[in-house]
Amino acid sequence: MNSILALQSEIEKAIEQTLTMVSISVAAAIIIGMPIGILLFLTAPGNLKGNRPLYSVVGYLVNLVRSFPFLILLVALIPFSRMIVGTAIGPLAASVSLSVAAIPFYARLVEQSLRDIPKGIIEAAVASGASLRHIVFGVLLSEARPGLVSGLTVTIISFISYSAAAGTVGGGGIGDLAIRYGYQRFDTEVMVACIVILVVMVQLVQWAGSFAAARLDKRK
Amino acid sequence: MITLREVSKQYKVGRDWVDAVKPTSLHVEKGQIQGIIGFSGAGKSTLLRMANLLELPTAGEVYIDGQELTGLNAGELREARRSIGMIFQHYNLLSNETCAANVEFVLKAANVPSKQRKRRVEECLEIVGLADKARQYPAQLSGGQKQRVAIARALANNPKVLLCDEPTSALDPVTTLSILEFLEKINREFQVTIMLVTHEIQVAKRLCSQIAVMEGGVITEQLDRSRPDIEPVTPFGKFLFDTTNSSSVWYRRGEQHE
């Protein structure tokens, strides 16, 4: 217990750093990843704006980023992080690579939940003379709402764990703390504390996500 | 009101082209209820769906109220579709929205101002007798009620034409009758021209002023309620109309092919 108490302020700082990294990357996933997911859905051959070349190019880019093992992506993007935030070290720098990974991750989940919408519902909107904007906001995002929230839950949880990996290359956060004290100094107490914090975070996110998705789902 | 002129539809299946609808013409006068009847795969849904270009004809022209839909650009077509209502076998309601929001969607799509939207939503749900279900979600309703919400939605923009794609095929006989009564009422009170696809002969006979019989992608004959002296002539038309029990229809159908 002693070592944990002694490190209380460091633990607090680490939690804050983890939350920063997760928030930034998840925000990027929503702001950039969701529109890319919608684009993928709309341009898929046979869909509303079917466009095979565009679909292939965007799909290829998404797959490209997703096929990088995260740690390698992290290292590969060091120059890019330096360009964007002026440094390659710290939670902000790690957030750049986390965001780059989170965007295609969520984009695919968005695309998938849009594909689950029954075609007839979209067709009814087309038949009513609705514009693309009305179909996207009034039909796609409304009908896929539970799936979008579940996908977001999966994304947040994945990126809590990715952010721990980012800690190892100087990103800070809970993962960094676990490595420095728990692993390099053989301080089991700190290691256990870090794991408990991560478990609690993941449980809270999952619980909140499942609750929200169920509330939004009116399909019974 | 509705004119399909030499429309046809071909699909590519693998490397072959399949004719869903062979060049076919159909004209429906204002205020009529035109039925299209035939077995599954006869091309009747495809023909109906060409009337609002949900299905783009491979060739031919489509006119609604004198306007050639096949000659419009995307924006003009959206505009034109607002005066063509449509209902479906599986209702196709937004499942995460209330009944009122479902009706309101098509009004929003037509850029109707918010105040008028609310009033029109109430009116339309009133017409189909579901004003008390406005705040409920489709999953909380019965099949017949869902179809009535779909009718309310189709009516919201005061359409001239209502297209019905097997609207009663998922419903029991009693509910079917009530839906047909609503369609009749809409046709009578709002002078909406209706085009309806069904495989149920009783539905067609009960509702339609004209019935087109479709077989193999073409209309083989057109029967008119006001001309009972004109008897069906094609074998298919005959057995559709002179049987009282559906099993004998299938029995005779089997015999014909032997």
In this complex, which of B92, B95, B110 lies closest to A123 when CB atoms are compared?
Answer: B92
Report the alpha-carbon distance of residue A182 to residue A196 in Å, rounded.
13
Q: Does residue B3 surpass a pLDDT of 60?
A: yes
* Spatial CB neighbours of B194, under 8 Å, sequence gap ≥ 6: B32, B33, B34, B161, B162, B163, B164, B183, B186, B187, B207
Would you call B213 exposed, middle or buried from its count of C-beta atoms within 10 A (0-12, 13-18, 19+)? buried
Q: Does residue A78 surpass a pLDDT of 80?
A: yes
- Collect all residues from A whose CB is shorter than 8 A from any CB in B: 118, 120-121, 123-131, 134, 138-139, 142-143, 145-146, 216-220
Answer whether A138 sits within 8 Å of B81, measured CB to CB: no
Segment B44-60, tens digit of pLDDT:
999 999 999 999 999 99
Kindly give the pairing relationship between strand B67-68 and strand B59-64.
antiparallel
Q: Does residue B257 surpass a pLDDT of 90?
A: no
pLDDT value at residue B244 = 52
Which residues from chain B sit within 8 angstroms of residue A121, using beta carbons?
Answer: 92-95
Pick B253 or A93 by higher pLDDT: A93
Domain ranges (residues) in chain A: 2-216
Minimum CA–CA partner of A130 in chain B: B109
Which residues from chain B sit within 8 angstroms of residue A216, using beta carbons?
Answer: 96
Label residue B252 by pLDDT band (50, 70, 90): very low
- Average pLDDT score over chain B: 90
With beta carbons less than 8 A apart as the criterion, state whether A37 and A144 touch: no
The pLDDT of A72-85, averaged and rounded, is 90
Best interface-test mutation with A: which of B105, B141, B158 has the largest number of A CBs within 10 A?
B105
- Is B140 in CB contact (< 8 Å) with chain A? yes
- Is B139 in CB contact (< 8 Å) with chain A? yes
Report the alpha-carbon distance of residue B44 to residue B35 in Å, rounded.
10
Query: Which tokens go with A197?
Result: 């914090």
Segment A150-207, tens digit of pLDDT:
999 999 999 999 998 887 777 889 988 888 888 888 888 888 999 999 999 999 999 9
Write out residues 80-119 of B within 8 Å (CB-CB) of A: 80-82, 84-86, 88, 90, 92-97, 105-106, 108-110
Segment A160-171, tens digit of pLDDT:
999 988 877 778
The pLDDT of B159-185, averaged and rounded, is 94
The pLDDT of A8-27, averaged and rounded, is 93
Which residues from chain A sit within 8 angstroms of residue B90, using beta carbons?
Answer: 118, 120
Residue type, A166: A
pLDDT value at residue B248 = 35
- Is B136 in CB contact (< 8 Å) with chain A? no
Answer whether A130 sits within 8 Å of B106, measured CB to CB: yes
Fold held by A2-216: MetI-like fold (1.10.3720)
Minimum CA–CA partner of A120 in chain B: B92
Q: Does residue B172 surpass a pLDDT of 70?
A: yes
Query: Which tokens go with A5?
Result: 């108490």
Query: Mind listing the domains of chain B with CATH numbers?
Result: 2-83+161-174+186-229 (3.40.50.300), 93-158 (no CATH)
Answer whether A145 sits within 8 Å of B96, measured CB to CB: yes
